[in-house]
Amino acid sequence: MKNKTKKIVILGACTLLLCGCGKTIPTLSDGSQAVVSFNEGTESISADQLYAKMKENYSLNAIISLMDTEILEQKYADDLEDAKEEAENTIKSMIDTYGETTVISYYGSVDAGKETIYLGTLRNKAILDYGKSLVTEDEIKGYYDKNIYGDVTVDHILVKTGVTDETSEEDKEKLETEAKNEINEIIEKLNAAEDKLATFKELAKEYSDDEATKNNGGSLGAINTGTLSSSYDEILKAARNLKDGEYSTSVITTSLGYHVIFRESSAEKPALEDKKEEITETLANQKISEDQTIQVTALDELRKEYGMKINDSDIAKKYSDYIANQIASIKANSSSN
């Protein structure tokens, strides 16, 4: 692949950028091109002067953006339309939320905002792919053994406390005690029932404060990690500790309130190969989150892979310092937190 990829060469001159096609550019006595001319007696501004000033102040970010756009559009050629659509939608949402003036103030222009988000989307893909390359087979197997389960079919009864931010501490304690007592009352009725599942479903209709599920016997359906919001994590955890046909015998607390659950059935654990890509992505995101230097290293390594060569020695030094400083700054922030 490397022998087919185009090398990115940063030229040490800005002539092509400054010359419009078919236009005559004034030439100074030393042969350099005049970008801006004045009346006689006032020195003109040459292309070399402009380039030197731009190189000093703006070159690094511009060159990195140009390099990354060229490389990433080759690497993710099949994903470009999706990235552009995401940029369009994100900018539209920002304009709807904050107003166009704020967006322009932040990015410089709406189009600049789209370009920034578009490039950011492609960079994130590259960073994730690099993160995936750091994940080992042992890590994948270990995660699979500890964290992957088959679906469980669960019913629940929710009893809300009625507590709000305005509730006094005394009233809060009273309401929570009443809700817990109601849960324990439901458990006692289940203990006395012959047909536990049928009784549970009837009790759901009578007691549950979950309007979305109560008339369906409290059914949450077949659930697994990520099926429901994090508010249900404790329910899923409790369900995995039950056997099929069992119900919880103590109060389960979530941000929604208090629960009783019934585990109806369970499916076999999916095969490792079927979950490998998902696990790899999860572990890659964990690595990137835990070590943010990966974000810098990933793009630096990709540029090198595509034969990046910065021919201007001053800009090459700026780039080298930029990478080193980014990594050092991230490490310093991590050690201080």
**What's 219's domain CATH number?**
3.10.50.40
Please give the share of the chain, as a percent, with pLDDT higher than 70.
Answer: 90
- In the chain, how many domains are there? 3
Q: Examine the fold and report which residue of 266, 287, 305 is the final residue of a domain before the chain moves on.
A: 266
Q: Does residue 43 register a pLDDT over 90? A: no
Dump pLDDT digits (tens) for 180-208: 999 999 999 999 999 999 999 999 999 99
Q: Are residues 280 and 295 in the same domain?
A: yes
pTM of the model: 0.75
Please say if the pLDDT value at position 1 is more than 50: no
Q: Are 144 and 159 found together in one domain? A: no
Residues 50 and 108 in one domain: no
pLDDT at 26: 56
Does position 11 have pLDDT exceeding 70, yes or no? Answer: no
Task: Work out the average pLDDT over 316-336.
Answer: 92
- CA-nearest of 287, 288, 305 to 75 is 305
Longest CA pairwise span in the chain (Å): 106
Least confident of 25-34, 259-268, 287-296: 25-34
What residue numbers bound the domain in which 297 lies? 58-148+274-337
| pLDDT score recorded for residue 30 | 57
Q: Evaluate whether residue 201 is within a structural domain.
A: yes
Buried b (16+ CB within 10 A) or exposed e, 156-171: bbbbebebeeeeeeee
Distance (Å) of CA 129 to CA 63, 111, 122, 282, 299: 23, 27, 11, 12, 10
261 belongs to a structural domain? yes
Q: For residue range 143-186, what is the model confidence (pLDDT) as tens digits?
A: 999 999 999 999 999 999 999 999 999 999 999 999 999 999 99
pLDDT at 13 over 50: no
Q: Is the pLDDT of residue 253 over 90?
A: yes
- Write down the pLDDT at residue 37: 74
> In the predicted model, is pLDDT for residue 286 greater than 70?
yes
1 within some domain: no
Apex CA 10: angle with CA 9 and CA 13, to 5°?
130
Residue 44 inside a domain? The answer is: yes
CB contact set of 196 (below 8 Å; sequence gap of 6+): 190, 245, 247, 262
pLDDT at 31 over 70: no
User: pLDDT, tens digit, for every residue of 76-131?
Assistant: 999 999 999 999 999 999 999 999 999 999 999 999 999 999 999 999 999 999 99
Segment 293-298 shows an average pLDDT of 97
Q: What is the mean pLDDT of the chain?
A: 90
Q: Does the residue 63 lie in any domain?
A: yes
Same domain, 200 and 130: no
Q: Which of 234, 250, 266 is the last residue of a domain?
A: 266
- Quote the Cα angle for 320-322-323, to 5°: 70
Residue 5 pLDDT exceeds 90: no
Asked whether residue 33 falls in the same domain as residue 83, the answer is no
Q: Is residue 2 part of a domain?
A: no
Q: Are strands 219-223 and 152-159 parallel, antiparallel or unpaired?
A: antiparallel
Q: Identify the pLDDT of residue 58.
A: 72
* Domain-ending residue, one of 266, 282, 314: 266
Same domain, 176 and 91: no
**Are residues 156 and 260 located together in one domain of the fold?**
yes
Which pLDDT does position 54 carry in this prediction? Answer: 75
Scan for tokens 């029932």, then name that residue.
Answer: 193
- How confident is residue 39, by pLDDT bands cut at 50, 70 and 90? confident
**Alpha-carbon span 186 to 294, nearest angstrom:** 51
Cβ contact 121:87 at 8 Å:
yes
Higher-pLDDT residue of 32, 143: 143
Q: What is the mean pLDDT of residues 273-296?
A: 97
Write down the pLDDT at residue 7.
47
